Amino acid sequence: MPIRIGARFSLIKVGGKAELCSNCGAYAKICPMDIPVSQYIQNGQRILSDQCIMCQQCVNVCAKNALSLTLGLDGGSSLPLTVRKTETPPAS
């Protein structure tokens, strides 16, 4: 079953400015969800991952203020939705 479907279509997401980003890698070290933040920023995209929990740790760690919360519409991501794998209990 897909989870966090609403995250793809949220109006508020983390966005960035590639021209301010020094590509220091601080985002990758701090993101608890292991989202490739710098890839999104270098491609001029907002964080479209349905895994983003909006903790804003990437925004806070950025020394160049390249990231911020942004308001906008986008069609989501071309990445597949995450599917939660559940185990069925053995039949009694």
Tens digit of pLDDT per residue, the chain (92 long)? 454 566 667 788 899 999 998 888 888 889 999 999 888 888 888 888 788 888 999 999 999 999 999 988 875 445 544 555 666 666 66
Q: Which helix (H) or strand (E) holds 70?
A: strand 67-71
pLDDT, residue 61, reads: 93
> Domain ranges in the chain?
5-70
pLDDT, residue 51, reads: 84
Classify residue 82 by its DSSP letter.
P
pLDDT, residue 6, reads: 62
| Selection from 4, 6, 77, 72 nearest residue 43 by Cα | 77
pLDDT, residue 1, reads: 40
Q: Which fold has domain 5-70?
A: Alpha-Beta Plaits (3.30.70)
Mode of pairing for the β-strands spanning 67-71 and 12-16? antiparallel
Q: What is the DSSP string of 16-32?
A: E-TTT----SHHHHH-T
